[in-house]
Amino acid sequence: MKLIIKTFQGLEEILAEEVSTLLDKKADLGRRSVFLDGTMSDIYTLNYKSRYALRVLAAIGAYQVHSYKDVYDAIYSINWEDYFDVDKTLYIESTVYSEFFKNSQYITHLTKDAIVDQFNENKGRRPSISKQNADIRLNIHISERTLNVNIDSSGEALFKRGYKDVTAEAPINEVLAAGLIRLSEWDKKLPLLDPMCGSGTILYEAAMLKYDIPSQYFRDTFSFYHWNDFDQPLWSEIQHDAAPLKVEGSIKGSDKLDYLADELKESIAQSEFKSMIEVNRGNFFQTDALEQPHHIIMNPPYNKRLSLDDHKAFYKNIGDTLKKKCTGSTAWVFSGNKQGIKFVGLKPSKKLTLYNGPIEAKFHKFEVF
């Protein structure tokens, strides 16, 4: 079956590379996605282990449609009881890029009607629709006259890893954080430091990468649990494959907000990450010089969700601190403040453009000599 794996813009290539490592299969690049022919085992493996996937969709069918009635008929022609039973809750999401079909809400409505009508006729009962935490998620996509019907095996997006209980004001998305670490080409040997760690997303993702912890080791639900053909023994086998947690710390973070650093430190101390990640209070600009080179990744405030008094001075301070205190280190700065990042005052040896939600962001590499 055809699988469509969704990700963020800019992470498609590393996702395709990851898919080929995990499954030993080649994936083709799409727009904010990659796709391949896959099996149920591939679906479980990708959901459990991919660090760069947001969702794993499986194609149910593709149809040529010329009218709204064709859409209804196509959806009705699918035998829905093959996929889920009447007691499951359902969420339908539609996207439409077409001259002929304009209204995605109407497509959602028609899809629901066709499914409900079929269940009513066969069972005398219908599945209910739920916007939150639905058991089954369908993804309907119309491009011109082609209707693609996909079932979403993940359910909640895969950035919901289930390891975090500290919230900060502008946390980075987990999938994006994993992507930044991968793009930064960390060798997993140099100690990794995030000196503006907030809720610790970069630290957690670095620990999971370094210690080979599957991305969803801590998550307890996926939509495919609700599928009629859910294969529990196969799923257990895939989870069993996961490497056991190992210990040894070289991932460090700090934040100038004392309460946040304390909360994160406490939360890590209570978790399986306790010997992997070290967190301290600290203003980066007043830090002691590092005793050895580090691999630094930081996501400073952009002056958007988190405001800065003087964004030029702030970014200049990052550059000055790197020069004075972090000699020999490699520092990657991820920021949606495209002007600010210029004031770091070091020449970037690599510049990448990514998106943090709708915000275009720069990811610059600085070698600190």
Ligand X SMILES: C[S@@+](CC[C@H](N)C(=O)[O-])C[C@H]1O[C@@H](n2cnc3c(N)ncnc32)[C@H](O)[C@@H]1O
Residue 170 as a binder of ligand X (CB under 6 A): the answer is: yes
Residue 268 makes contact with ligand X by CB under 6 A = no
Residue of 168, 181, 207, 238 interacting with ligand X (CB under 6 A): 168
* 319 forms part of the interface with ligand X (CB under 6 A): no
Looking at the Cβ atoms of 34 and 181, the one nearer to ligand X is: 181
Q: Decide: is 300 part of the binding site for ligand X (CB under 6 A).
A: yes
Q: Which of 90, 149, 172, 176 binds ligand X (CB under 6 A)?
A: 172
- The token pair at 191 is 């100690």
DSSP string covering 294-355: -EEEE----SSSS--S-HHHHHHHHHHHHHHH-TT-EEEEEES-TTGGGGG-S--SEEEEEE
Taking contact as CB under 6 A, which single stretch among the options 104-112, 164-172, 322-330, 337-345 is the one that binds ligand X? 164-172
Say what angle helices 201-210 and 174-183 make with each other, to 10 degrees: 60
One of 69, 306, 357, 360 touching ligand X (CB under 6 A): 306
Asked whether position 179 contacts ligand X by CB under 6 A, the answer is no
Interface with ligand X, residue 297, by CB under 6 A: no
Count of residues of this chain found to bind ligand X when the rule CB under 6 A is applied: 22
Pairwise CA distance, residues 255 & 286, whole Å: 12
- What residues contact residue 238 under an 8 Å CB cut-off, 6+ apart? 41, 44, 45, 48
Helix axis angle, 174-183 relative to 12-23, nearest 10°? 90
Residue 38 touches ligand X, criterion: CB under 6 A: no
Mask: binding to ligand X, 75-114, rule CB under 6 A, as x and -? ----------------------------------------
Smallest separation, CB 155 to ligand X (Å): 23
Q: Which is nearer to ligand X, 301 or 340 (CB)?
A: 301
- Phi and psi angles of residue 14, each rounded to the nearest 5 degrees, phi first: -70, -30
Question: What are the residues facing 6 on neighbouring strands?
Answer: 33, 55
Minimum separation from the CB atom of position 133 to ligand X (A):
24
Does 63 interact with ligand X (rule: CB under 6 A)?
Answer: no
Token output for 156: 């909640």
Rounded to an integer, what distance in angstroms lies between the CA atom of residue 18 and that of residue 106? 37
Please give the residue ranges that form the binding site for ligand X (CB under 6 A). 168, 170-172, 195-199, 201-202, 255-257, 260, 283-285, 299-301, 306
